[in-house]
Structure 1
């Protein structure tokens, strides 16, 4: 039955003119693995907590060389790659998420470029920036990067694969059934980075320039900056792959974690966990770290493994309903590739290296006085004594970036804030200070305006009379 399905699918895919032969064969290979049911189940009893040799504590790394020339040599072995395939749809934006303004009028992409520019300027190095786009973000990104043509940094863009969504009940590619617009296709997750880097010719280009490592990170993670201690460690120890992990808090219980499994370091995702052990997986006592998706990978090793077709990461089936049709997307994650590389390690990094902006509540944190901006680097305000950030929950009125920005005359001071919950039609004046635990609730049909200069500490506000 599976063979029959695959044969029909293969025939239909062969007729799709919109994608390359590499994309066709990559897609068929993914589907074939999925249909064969080769999913490896994790045996819970074989899971061990990794030792400090496998997940190295950041503070045990040797200091990088102080000599400018030595630092330049290290940096010239590095390329930075940002995953730029995501649209800002969850935050109400239509283009690439990386062009949302983060601070002082700068977008994620501006900050990334400024950071690498300042490195190249300081050390005389040539660290290039690569952006892996999806077909959703490619055209917009090409226009956006034009403004960096005069900078001292090479910016390369390439596309990750474009695969057809599969109509679930017939198991045929949707585009061959007539859905040829963008909705008929999907980008197959960031695990696709390795073949796409190779197929685009960018991998060979980097190797020809003497690059040895690529630092991969999500474009919306403001903490993912080049770290000389990590780069120095990997080059000296010849680790082919490094995943940055950081201590788990209760907000991160669903994040993937590193385990030792059959003498290999491996990523364990919640989807792989047997139901009986899900609560154990979510515990921050047993599984203390999670994957930040900041990855450092050796370029020659990528080439070796892609050429050998050896990167068989766990398949993540993602069923969706689009325009009333049930479709299936098969995806893979870049972090799951860790077990295929030699001398792969994790490094347990400070939380400051994980500062993603997934929602407007995250945007409020990074736009506030909790952070300052220097040379494109977002740095935490030392006046905040609590090591963790405030917990912020904003109601649906704040979900879209435009609405969020419109409701604040200026972003409140939150250096001494613990938690903030806002619901209903709430509007903030300028120069407001929030401290401790604050809840602001506008009653249905009531517009609640917080006046300029208000200082609110440990208060529940349900109407103007509480101010």
Structure 2
């Protein structure tokens, strides 16, 4: 049935307008899935990465840095809908500070860096079909953001979800859109090539790219890192940060024992019985930020030589076709990670950077912190911690998980968190205006909707 299943999937992709390059990559992973590949990386096969280069120790010539940044493009992954936060449009359109969205702040970062350095810094989004229209409309409202000769975006591909029982494309008449899934952000390489954007960047004289997630407002254009990367001669580099107890879910780099190659291991590639190794921030002391640097010439050469199939490690995700219906058919989603390309390029490297370059928003807990006075909007457009240590936020997911519920319970904006070490909320609490949190505060569940009155000072 698998040969028939592959043929059905390929035809479905052709009928859906998917590029041949993306079909070829899907075919490669289908073969791996059929052969029983799980994508698991065993702890015994890797060694922890303990002493990467550190940006603070690197000597970068100012002229080299300026020259490298002048040849750098800024690429943002912008395909996420924020569904985990109850959203149905691009998460990057979510207001973060002073009514400005992620995209507004990113555009501001790029304009500020252009003014400060003279670098053209084209900004290009990798959108999905569901984020493209709204995102381009929002980005286009920012004056002079587009660079002549280059588009503002390219589209991520899509592929069929496969039935677990026979590896055929799943059919789901109640909502046919659920029959499709993105191939993971590892698709960025295929999409860059197939869209023609990679060649356009090269034709316009750009040699390097800085890629990151659109919900990470810490990844501002950085001449010093660009200069370090250009001077290294590496084809590819990843930014790392030191792990803390709060970073146990993020992927990490490791050294493959068989050949000494740097590789990326994500949660989905870790055996459940070995998860204690994965989550131990002392055993694997650096996490992967998903801020990447590419030599575009070397990336183009690798993609064209391999027919767009870089051969990134498979990530096999087992889910229900309708995530809200546990009785719906089980499916495999074949994915790959953008950061896994580090093992494809000989000479690929990594550098440890400051925590200020990693500020992702995955939950309303993260959003509350970034909206609060614990952070400030710096001159370069980055959000930067304005206190010694960010407070730990833990909001009751029953009442704060979605943006609608979250905003309803903070109608006057976030409380002051400058002097807070943690805020834990259990139950349904609505916060009044000018609330101040100091120390470690816990609000217990009263069993009914409760209110923190205006002007309250909560002290742990």
Q: TM-score, normalised by structure 2?
A: 0.90
Distance 1:239 1:278 in 2: 32
Matches within 5 A, 1:2-401: 4-11=1-8, 13-14=10-11, 16-19=14-17, 20-37=19-36, 42=41, 44-50=43-49, 52=51, 55-65=52-62, 72-148=66-142, 150-151=144-145, 153=147, 156-174=152-170, 181-261=176-256, 262-309=259-306, 311-323=310-322, 324-375=328-379, 376-381=381-386, 384-385=387-388, 387=389, 389-395=390-396, 396-401=398-403
Provide closer, same or farther for how the CA distance between residues 406 and 271 of structure 1 changes in structure 2, counting only shifts above 3 A: closer
Q: CA RMSD in A?
A: 2.2
Distance 1:119 1:302 in 2: 25
What is the Cα deviation at residue 337 of structure 1? 0.9
Which aligned segments of 4 or more residues in structure 1 are displaced greater than 6 angstroms?
177-180
Distance 2:68 2:93 in 1: 30
- Secondary structure at 2:418's aligned position in 1? coil
- One of 408, 418, 423 as aligned partner of 2:421: 418
Partner of 1:465: none
Q: TM-score, normalised by structure 1?
A: 0.89
Q: Deviations over 1:47-67 (max 9, x none)?
A: 334364xx21121111450x6
Partner of 1:464: none
What is the Cα deviation at residue 121 of structure 1? 1.9
Q: Is the 8 Å Cα contact of residues 78 and 127 (structure 2) preserved in structure 1?
A: yes
Q: Deviations over 1:53-82 (max 9, x none)?
A: xx21121111450x6xx6543222100111
Distance 1:129 1:21 in 2: 26
Query: Tell me, which stretches of 5 or more residues in structure 1 are unaligned?
Result: 459-467
What is the Cα deviation at residue 294 of structure 1? 0.7
Larger Rg: 1
Query: Tell me, which stretches of 5 or more residues in structure 2 are unaligned?
Result: 323-327
What is the Cα deviation at residue 223 of structure 1? 1.0
Distance 1:42 1:172 in 2: 26
Distance 2:40 2:165 in 1: 26
Distance 1:40 1:92 in 2: 30
What is the Cα deviation at residue 180 of structure 1? 8.0
Distance 2:22 2:367 in 1: 36
Partner of 1:461: none
- Secondary structure at 2:153's aligned position in 1? strand
- Secondary structure at 2:193's aligned position in 1? helix
Q: Is the 8 Å Cα contact of residues 265 and 344 (structure 1) preserved in structure 2?
A: yes
- Equivalences, count: 444
Distance 1:96 1:28 in 2: 29
- Secondary structure at 1:291's aligned position in 2? strand
Partner of 1:462: none
Distance 1:230 1:412 in 2: 35
What is the Cα deviation at residue 452 of structure 1? 1.7
Partner of 2:439: 436
Distance 2:227 2:110 in 1: 17
Distance 1:267 1:444 in 2: 44
What is the Cα deviation at residue 120 of structure 1? 1.2
Choose between structure 1 and 2 for higher RCO, CA contacts under 8 A separated by at least 6 residues: 2
- Secondary structure at 1:173's aligned position in 2? coil
What is the Cα deviation at residue 181 of structure 1? 3.3
Q: Is the 8 Å Cα contact of residues 14 and 24 (structure 1) preserved in structure 2?
A: no
The worse-fitting range, judged by mean Cα deviation, of 317-326 and 194-203 is 317-326
What is the Cα deviation at residue 397 of structure 1? 1.4
